[in-house]
Chains A and B, each alone.
Chain A
């Protein structure tokens, strides 16, 4: 098993290198400093989201409400500050929203036993609708001047590295530590390997699933905040985009099997690099949005086909109704 995982990782990395080399050689303007910076910056948000998704996917879940969690709470902060509330109270309100959202997701998956894809599909829709109805006056919420004190989250850089990339690095380090060095991290892997086995050995599986969805929502909101700071606004219609598939692509292509229990932060980084390069290349090639979606869709389909061959579902621990 170990050998196989390393191979997949290596293959994806090799594809990345080849793709990067081809683009660099044949695409004018690809291997330029501004484009490289833009690429890294765009990729950073995807990468942060991928970390959250990885946390959930490792224990056989999936969270497609992450884009709603990315857009709505940071948007709420921006909107509240615009409307004259203090930054602190705004951040606290958004934080509370994220926690509640994660808890509801987790409760539905862990305790009500609704399949995770289904839960997060509906809950994401709900949160996006809530934002549309109750929070935002315009589709794009501008970054208010009163919040400029927090702008360093997404602007500038350290030693020439753009801030979002630094944030990605920090988040990656924390998640890696969490997954590999803490007991709960080990439990998450156990849960993904065999949920029934994990429960039988006395691991508190339900609270851990709850925690995962809360963490995923928090990470998504963090990514959203960094994004808002970096582009100086929060385009809340991002929920309608296909960004969540980019995130799933990052995770699956990186080698974190949807059947759970495998992979980690390095896989997210490799997946992020590949997807970032691909998206950036397609943008430079002037693919339309729809054409990009088409390519992404086909690549994702091939990826999960390959995934289902490399990491076949465990029939013994697969559940009835596991769709």
Chain B
């Protein structure tokens, strides 16, 4: 009864979604948005006419003017700095625009660009000092704040009467300041346009990525060749320019050079940015965050003004919010990974039937023996992690290595070897196509191809993104094994979409169908996902009919068959279930059957744990990985099965003396070659009575002429 409940709970409750949603960067924006909604709701209740169109339009003007400056601040903060001089630059550019318009009577088309250039120049001072001379951003911009403010004060002392006396007769200028279209102020259009551009810039364009990269880690950005100093400088220039943009609209709206313009503006802008979720210290921020932060701060300060509280309260509220937001942001950034890793692992209910016996006296084909105990070793101690082994039509033996190399051993004795090609990542399953291209699944990279003249090419590293998956499953994280159909299409398995290569034990712990089978067609160079929701799909082998593949589900302890052509196209059928071990690669044998490697054997304790998801979750949280319940990988086992799913024979190395954890095997000219992902050797076992002339790719693609 309770077992049924557990089963239902884990079948229908999507535990894995919480961690996936939390690990999305956009959830960070969710919190400020919720705060904004709450603040808006509370204020609309507290104040009458808070959302009257006239008030709203006025708020939109202010929000846009300040919003420009927040964009500048956001940019500088994302690149890892801070710009406190924005308020003074705002005041100074406001003065500059008014001086040009009122005193010198320039046309708008000249005055506005001139003001923007002036703002950029002011920003460039900060930029050069911080970017090129590597001064501290905070203290430097604090000083330029004082200097610019002093200059402003000196200037208005001399020119304020002149500015107040002049009246520029320009419709365009008035339109900038007070004009509106469909009841929406001009400035708001500019703001929205800039926001859209800013979003595209930060998320889709190269300079935007550079900015985020520098903020994330200055040193890494430098090492990867980004022009760190220039980029930082340009961010401060942009901040000055955006302040000038705010100054222009402010000037055209109010035409005033009062002594308190822009005083304390930096705190308002900083509060907006931090409240929106743009992190102090860089690398984390977006346009949406800047917009939301601006709106929250403006709503709060405007409502304080309309409640006519004294200026001191305003200060206290701003400072209080600023500190609170900063503390929350810093704590969240520091503990984010810990929180996500706590909730990300979501084990599933996984019921296994009773373990079939493999005892030596069980009388089945599974009966244990010691046939693999005395295999001869190839490349002992010279190769690491040959997950798959393969032989070409010239008897050369190929194997992947942990270092991302493909190693070639030469016949006849396989004592000599060379690095055939270097790809990187972790090479896993391999297959030759008709033209002797070697296709390799690379864990962490995708599907690669090595041409006969040793050129490494990427075949594919992405597939179609499924619309209902929260985590981005378009990238290939753990391409595992492949085989090639007669028409050249390549079917390969991806073991999991939720974890990286080195985290495969965690995926096993979850026992959820996180894996899939993907089809790549070299003719059209297109990739699509064929089958989803598989429990760690692993070995792939084209069946004798040429219309279907056998594939192993490692943590499902089963072998299934998928038809990609013919009358049963699209169907998946069970071939062998409830295996006593965890199946890995599948390859053909000389007598028309199939070899299957067992990466590990089942044990009753783990079988029990599969039915206890809560227990596994606790284990994942509290116990280091090396002490988790694991399959018994200290035994080597290879079986042969036929198309009906009957086990014909089994070869063992009990206790894994010579060959534990076999992940792959290939039959070639009367021998069986054995690979293992944790082994430092390739095994060679003489098959009694096997066809001494059997060559896999002669059979598949025909003999070489």
Contact = CB atoms under 8 A, between A and B. Distances in A.
A129 interface: yes
Interface in A128-145: 128-134
B581 interface: no
Contact of B150 (A64, A117, A290, A308): A290
B139 A112 contact: no
Interface in A248-274: 248, 258
A121 B141 CA distance: 13
B230 interface: no
Given A126-B319, A130-B312, A132-B312, A304 B139 contact: yes
Nearest to A301: B143
Instruction: Label chain A's interface by main secondary structure.
Output: helix
Interface stretch (A85-93, A170-178, A292-300): A292-300
B556 to A, nearest CB: 43
B140 interface: yes
B157 interface: yes
B144 interface: yes
Contacts of B153: 289-290, 293
A320 B319 CA distance: 24
Contact of A323 (B82, B146, B151, B314): B82
Interface string A87-123: 0000000000000000000001000111101110111
Nearest to B327: A112
A305 interface: yes
A301 B217 contact: no
A297 B146 contact: yes
Interface stretch (B18-26, B130-138, B566-574): B130-138
Contacts of A297: 143-144, 146-147, 150
Contacts, number: 139
Given A126-B315, A128-B312, A304 B320 contact: no
Which of the listed residues A114, A130, A322 has the most CB atoms from chain B within 10 Å of its own CB? A114
A113 B331 CA distance: 8
B315 A323 contact: no
Contacts of B134: 308, 313
B150 A129 contact: no
> Which of under 10, 10 to 19, 20 to 34, or 35 or more describes the interface residues of B?
35 or more
Given A304-B139, A305-B135, A123 B323 contact: yes
Contacts of A308: 133-136
A121 B327 CA distance: 14
A35 interface: no
A119 B323 contact: yes
B311 interface: yes
Contacts of B279: 321
Instruction: Label chain B's interface by main secondary structure.
Output: helix
B310 interface: yes
Interface in A272-323: 288-291, 293-294, 296-298, 300-301, 304-305, 308, 313, 315, 320-323
Contacts of B142: 64, 117, 245
Contact of A117 (B139, B314, B334): B139
A129 B326 contact: no
9 contacts: A114-B330, A121-B267, A125-B319, A133-B313, A258-B136, A294-B154, A297-B147, A304-B136, A320-B217
Interface in B277-313: 279-282, 310-313
A245 B146 contact: yes
Contact of A122 (B81, B140, B282, B323): B323
B146 A115 contact: no
Nearest to A117: B138
A130 B311 CA distance: 10
Contacts of B144: 297, 301
B143 A126 contact: no
A125 B267 contact: yes
A123 B323 CA distance: 8
A321 B137 CA distance: 11
B143 A112 contact: no
Given A118-B280, A291-B154, A297-B146, A112 B331 contact: yes
A242 interface: yes
Contacts of A290: 149-151, 153-154, 157
B129 interface: yes
A233 B151 CA distance: 31
Contacts of A118: 82, 138, 280, 326
B5 interface: no
Nearest to B154: A290
A242 B314 contact: no
B185 interface: no
B308 to A, nearest CB: 13
Contacts of B136: 258, 304, 308, 323
B311 A114 contact: no
Given A128-B315, A304-B135, 15 more contacts: A122-B322, A125-B315, A125-B319, A128-B312, A131-B312, A133-B313, A245-B142, A248-B139, A293-B150, A296-B146, A297-B143, A301-B129, A304-B136, A320-B282, A323-B136
B80 interface: yes
B318 interface: yes
A321 B281 contact: yes
A108 B327 contact: yes
Nearest to B315: A129
B316 interface: yes
Interface string B77-104: 0001110000000000000000000000
